[in-house]
Structure 1
Amino acid sequence: MRFGQWLGLLALVAALTLLWTLRQSLLTLFAAVVVAMALCTLIGWMRQRLGCGRPLAVVLSLGLVSVVLAVLATAVIPPFVEQFGELVSKLPAAATTLLNLTRDLISRASQMLYGRSDGGLDWLREGLFSGGEPSNLRGGALQLLGLAGGLGTGLLQLLFVVAVALMITLQPLAYREIAVLLVPSFYRRRFRKVLVSCGDALSGWMVGVLISSLCVGVLAAIGLSLLGVKLVAANAVLAGLLNIIPNIGPTLSTVFPMSVALLDSPIKALAVLLLYVAVQNLESYLITPSVMQHQLNLLPGLTLTAQLLFTVVFGPLGLLLALPLAVCLQVVVKEVLIHDVLDRWKRPPLAS
């Protein structure tokens, strides 16, 4: 290799190392872009419905968002925080009940298999309960959910995301052109179309997820009310919020209502499990296909792979943003790698 080629290789390695070092900051910036796309989608809907100019649509959209946030801060968040705190306090008692129920099931199975309730399955009982009684589960749960140490950093990141999102929302075309200038001049027109496609895919995904999460929250609230499960508001809000994270989120949302129901009876906990399975199947096979007809569909295997990969690379924020990242990457792979590279890759002529 020549000196210039070595220099280019070193520059590429340095650039990749820099990107890897700044991956958390870049992910936070991507979160701001996602929020900005959500605001731009609302602004576009306002302009289409009201037939007004962009400045007026921006003012109306920001006003609407402010009103919604004010209503959430005064009417929804306080009871949710209260009920969620009570929900967390019930988890240790529910865990103790579950352990006692498991012990009883093992004893009954030993009675059926060996004619006595002890001795036959002692190896299983000792393996499951070798840690002793869960006397410190309350402290463990509170430590798991206690994020006070990183609260300041989280608030700063949230302020950064909101500020950058508002700046991008006010001048989206200008910031898009800055991104276009980062690619070679011969590819800028095509790259501009790719960015527009990514924006359209993100907008469709966000609208679909919003409608889907609202439906899941409402269905969960109705079902839990009919079953007589306590803390309906907290569990319904959690079901709607965690629905944003596919595969993992719905599973986590089932733990809390089942824990509360288990304190009443195992049958009620089983009924809650069946309810959430029914709601998730309804969401997966009816609600989501109906509201996302024009949205870029992601295969379940690719979705799970993206969640695992981005969680390992970026941490919890990567898990939260795995779906929008996967949506954008799928557009880039389809438009750039497949359409612009592989589809135009000609077979070299045979040597005569």
Structure 2
Amino acid sequence: MKTTSFLSITALIISVLILWGLREIIILFFAAIIIAMALCTITGKIRVFLKIPRWVSLVLTIISILLISSISIVIIIPQFTSEFQELINQIPSAVSKLWELSINTFFNFAEIIYKDNIPNLSDRTILTNKISMIPDGATLASGVTDSITKLVGLVSNVGIGILQLFFIISVSLMITLQPNSYREVAILLVPSFYRRRARTILLRCGNALSSWMAGVLISSIFVVIITSVGLYLLGIKLVIANALIAGVLNVIPNVGPTISTIFPLSVALLDTPWKAVAVLGLYIVIQNIESYVITPSIMHKQVKLLPGLTITAQFIFTILFGPLGLLLAIPMAVVIQVFVKEIIINDILEKNYFSTRM
């Protein structure tokens, strides 16, 4: 092996190790880019609509966001916090009731099937002995409570969370103030013959992210509204908390909607069992409308990700970056897909862009 080749491989390995060590900073920086893209998109829309300078539209954007956040903190957040705490407290009781319903259903079916063959089967002590190795509802409820407590303790490192949030907000504001300058710095890292093409690719990544964010926002608002109306008509308690949880978790495809179903099911199960079935049906209908009607109609310009690639991206990025990786898996997958399509497929495999210029 030549010395230059050996040095190149060594440099590549060292670079990969450095990036792996900085992966937490990288994911935070990517989150800042996502927020900066959102701010730039809103700023651009306001600038075009009102025909005002960019700095004025940026100030209006920040003031609007602060105003909306303040209203949410004063009006929505206290109600949501109260209802969410009540939701958490009701989950163990719901598990106990579900266990009780399961046992009763099992006994009823067993009596119907075996009453002619086993005369003493009506005495439920026999069946109780046969399923004695299965944990009862209280044990399951205690297990659920312990799991929730451990989960909350796992993610409740307030100090680190505040520092990370401060870093994300600070970097996103810096990028928003001078987006073109930061983009040009990134372009300087690529060979000179490819910089014009790199600028086009970065613009397409930005458009894809903007389209994704707009689509997710509209989709989440739809989920919140329809969920609120559906739960209210079914007479389910804690509507605000359940609706907001469904809207927020809608950002995470596949995993989010499944998790959001747990909370209203718990509330409905404690009220009337048939309401739990109705809530499950409601959420299935909402997710199908969101997946097959709302999302395709508002994201027709977005880079489309296949379901298999979506799940794979969520799995990989969660392992690499933790919970934040799960939350940002889809936008990262959108950016990666743009890079793969534009660089690997279009420039290397089809046009052989690099070999004709080197």
Q: TM-score interval w.r.t. the shorter chain?
A: over 0.9
1:350 match? none
Q: Report the 3-state secondary structure (helix = DSSP H, G, I; strand = E; otherwise coil) of the residue aligned with 2:33.
A: helix
1:99 match? 99
Match of 1:198 among 205, 226, 239: 205
Match of 2:292 among 285, 290, 296: 285
Q: Does 1:233 align with 2:240?
A: yes
Q: Does 1:187 align with 2:194?
A: yes
2:140 match? 134
Match of 1:237, as an amino acid?
L
Cα distance in 1 for partners of 2:198, 2:341 equals 13
Cα distance in 2 for partners of 1:96, 1:331 equals 48
Q: Name the stretch that deviates more: 320-329 or 287-296.
A: 287-296
Q: Name the stretch that deviates more: 245-254 or 125-134.
A: 125-134
Confirm or deny: 8 A CA contact 2:97 2:137 kept in the other structure. Answer: no
Match of 1:199, as an amino acid?
G
Match of 2:257, as an amino acid?
P
Q: Name the stretch that deviates more: 103-112 or 71-80.
A: 103-112
Confirm or deny: 8 A CA contact 1:34 1:202 kept in the other structure. Answer: yes
2:315 match? 308
Q: Give the alignment's TM-score, normalised by structure 1.
A: 0.93
After superposition, residues 318-333 of structure 1 pair within 5 angstroms as 318-333=325-340
Residue by residue, what CA displacement relative to the aligned partner does 1:163-199 show, whole Å, maximum 9, x if unpaired?
A: 0000000000000011111112221111111111000
Deviation at 1:145, TM superposition (A): 2.6
Q: Report the 3-state secondary structure (helix = DSSP H, G, I; strand = E; otherwise coil) of the residue aligned with 2:332.
A: helix
1:210 match? 217
Residue by residue, what CA displacement relative to the aligned partner does 1:249-297 show, whole Å, maximum 9, x if unpaired?
A: 0000100000001001110111000010111111111111121122221
Cα distance in 1 for partners of 2:138, 2:188 equals 62
Confirm or deny: 8 A CA contact 1:114 1:120 kept in the other structure. Answer: no
Confirm or deny: 8 A CA contact 1:110 1:121 kept in the other structure. Answer: no
After superposition, residues 67-146 of structure 1 pair within 5 angstroms as 67-115=67-115, 116=121, 125-126=131-132, 128-129=134-135, 133-134=139-140, 136=142, 137-146=144-153
Deviation at 1:131, TM superposition (A): 9.2
Structure 1 residues 149, 68: CA separation in 2 closer, same or farther (over 3 Å shift)? closer
Confirm or deny: 8 A CA contact 1:204 1:292 kept in the other structure. Answer: yes
Deviation at 1:301, TM superposition (A): 1.3
Q: Name the stretch that deviates more: 191-200 or 112-121.
A: 112-121
Deviation at 1:162, TM superposition (A): 0.3
Gaps of 5+ in 1: 347-352
Confirm or deny: 8 A CA contact 2:269 2:275 kept in the other structure. Answer: yes
Confirm or deny: 8 A CA contact 2:99 2:136 kept in the other structure. Answer: no
Q: Does 1:4 align with 2:4?
A: yes
Deviation at 1:239, TM superposition (A): 0.6
Confirm or deny: 8 A CA contact 2:208 2:334 kept in the other structure. Answer: yes
Gaps of 5+ in 2: 116-120, 354-358
Match of 2:163, as an amino acid?
L
Cα distance in 2 for partners of 1:128, 1:311 equals 33
1:62 match? 62
Match of 2:233, as an amino acid?
L
Alignment: residue pair count: 345
Q: Does 1:250 align with 2:257?
A: yes
RMSD: 1.9
